[in-house]
Structure 1
């Protein structure tokens, strides 16, 4: 099936599912408030479209509308993304429950109110739990050994935070959580494997997020790479220049040496068709020194292992962010979350520190990885 036809089909299904969720909401509000008729429909459906497609519309119209309007619209639309996903999951069961109640001689109106109320309670519980998961970061600790000498280094303690998605949803408060938790770990090295930005560089500059990031203290400094969202929003030159000015290099197919004994390779994101291959990046490196690589999307782990990299760090997947989306990321990526060894490569994929769209996580957590790497071990 051609890509354009597949996209149109997906869009059609998405619109149909939105109509399905909207129809149920209309039924519940109508019974609850005793509303109905053409006048109610004429008000309900335009308002529903404004909210249901708010995240998309607010992005498209952000330069034509006042900032507070765009921000409010975007946040409402973002939360609706989560509500819509779980509505699609819950409503078929709600329809079955309503049918059973009607079969037990309960009136249609009462069945709608009973089942609709139960769905709303479940939805609120999901949103509350998901919000807690998103705003309450956890530190996941690992220890690995690399059988290579690293100069005078016996071990390297690395803190990793991918997918910050700093912007109008994830802001200073959550970033402060990262700074405090990272500094409490006292890492030797702080790494940011992509999607520091949530599309647009403007909030990063306006809210001085870089100044907050620079408060993270690590013996060998903080380094970042680009993710797909930095490419989507544009302004990469502004972002990279700002980060360098703060002493946080953004590695663009570049390698630096940490402590005179460990190579740190930063690869451009897969979105950039001109990025170098891993083999090209490692060809000039000494095979006897440990190699650590950041590559935002975990789509080339086998290639990375084949190029003799010892440890790789990735993000991008969010572990689906909201279950059951993790079933999809598992099928797309050989490793979509956690740790796995591929030959001599120790590969890590983080679920990320921030969120895309709704600040909701179900089946995933906001996380920081803290990896202790020991060198010269048998």
Structure 2
């Protein structure tokens, strides 16, 4: 971890610890009300393990099954942590009002605690349903360029599958059904196919599932930030190549000898790849602007530069649309487009909320999705 990342991580960790203590204190308060004889040391030890289980689960220790379980527990804790903070702040405000009114009763804590637990369970169940029940977003656009004899191009766009210990072959089966059933011309995997480490991807034979994706002109992928975080890029690229899926790293390929597809390295390459990544203008400098140019770039930055570079269709993911509310308010301000479709000059930009999930398989105010994009072209010139 470099100095810059360390300086960013320390304040975040301190805030996380402080807020976790806030959540843990309320849990202790509820236990004191319903079971006064509980063991306080045991409670705080268990709570600390749960709160830091995601980090503990990433330690390269054995038995691996135990540490994988810790990582799963820690993933769900992230959702509980955020929802609990929002709910507990509201409860504390209500408690203050009740106290000031003189109507406070000792039954308030167990009743309020029970309500918080019920709402938490409801949010987790609804969020789980949104995560595991992907939807199809369909778009139909026109690109005013010829592309040989092609008049239409059907593109299936998939981003942020995050294959790992939580998202696995069962969710891939859903993807195969939704993609292959549509019979696309091209499938674009717009980054974060795997979730950090490549180990569960290999152990569970997920490459064999991905190999079943079918498209007339092929399946192509780019790297996301999580492929970089995992540190297994060369092995990942090799395994994808073995199943016929090229991972484009600042590279361009032809689709049907008429459409130019460029795949950018992820923005993370600027800090984690010794070679960095090419500016979009350099990547497209030698492309034929009279023919359609499609670009995959995992993180949706630099729309102005992409438009100037002559990009017709820009495909991204990364944001998850915040994954669960109210995070979508933040992503909506961080990115020019954090989800959906944007027309910028002659460029059509798309950002998918992702097919999988990072951390907990929970989505609120977002859905796991697959994009069906139909591109209308001018066809063969007369």
- Using structure 1 for the length normalisation, give the TM-score: 0.95
Where do residues 229-268 of structure 1 align in structure 2 (5 Å cutoff)? 229-268=226-265
SS of the equivalent of 1:205 reads helix
- 204, 209, 221: which one aligns with 1:207: 204
What stretches of structure 1 of length at least 5 have no aligned partner?
none
Q: Is the 8 A contact 1:97 1:115 kept in 2?
A: no
C-alpha distance 4-240 of structure 1, shift in aligned 2 (>3 A):
closer
Quote the Cα distance in structure 1 between the aligned partners of 2:260 and 2:25.
Answer: 57
Of 129, 153, 156 in structure 2, the residue corresponding to residue 156 of structure 1 is: 153
Contact 1:101 1:111 survives alignment (8 Å): no
Paired with 1:294 and 1:7, the residues of 2 have a C-alpha distance of 29
Distance 1:370 1:302 in 2: 25
The structure 1 residue matched to 2:37, chosen from 35, 38, 54, is 35
- What residue is the counterpart of 2:105 in the other structure? 107
SS at match of 1:185: coil
User: Which stretches in structure 2 are left out of the alignment for 5+ residues?
Assistant: 271-275
Instruction: Output the aligned Cα RMSD.
Output: 1.5
CA distance in 2: counterparts of 1:5 and 1:190, whole angstroms: 39
1:50 aligns with 2:52: no
What are the superposed Cα offsets for residues 203-255 of structure 1, whole Å, 9 maximum, x if unpaired? 11111111101111111111000000000001111110111110111111111
CA distance in 2 between partners of 1:29 and 1:177 (Å):
41
Q: Hey, what's the Cα distance between the residues in 1 that align with 2:224 and 2:11?
A: 28
The residue that corresponds to 1:22 in the other structure is 24
Among 191, 195, 206, the residue aligned to 2:192: 195
Cα distance in 2, alignment partners of residues 123 and 82 from structure 1: 9
> What residue is the counterpart of 2:75 in the other structure?
78
Q: Residue 86 of structure 2 corresponds to which residue in structure 1?
A: 89
SS of alignment partner, residue 226 of structure 1: coil
- Equivalent in 203, 221, 224 of residue 221 of structure 2: 224
Contact 2:250 2:277 survives alignment (8 Å): yes
Preserved CA contact (<8 Å) 2:61 2:67: no
Aligned partners of 1:96, 1:57: CA distance in 2, in Å?
Answer: 34
User: Is 1:136 the equivalent of 2:133?
Assistant: yes
Task: Report the CA distance between 1:137 and its aligned residue.
Answer: 0.2
Question: Within the alignment, does 1:9 sit opposite 2:11 as a pair?
Answer: yes
Work out the CA distance in 1 between the residues paired with 2:49 and 2:232: 29
Task: Note if contact 2:138-2:373 (Cα within 8 Å) is conserved in structure 1.
Answer: yes
**How far 1:5 moved relative to its partner?**
5.8
1:127-150 superposed Cα distances (whole Å, 9 cap, x missing partner) = 000000000000000011000000
Deviation of the 1:8 alpha carbon: 3.5
Aligned counterpart, 2:290: 288
Determine the structure 1 residue equivalent to 2:273: none
Comparing 238-247 and 89-98, the one that deviates more: 89-98
- Residues 34-89 of structure 1: per-residue CA shift (max 9 Å, x gap): 335xxx22111111010011111211x1x212121012111111111000001111
Distance 1:366 1:55, change over 3 A: same
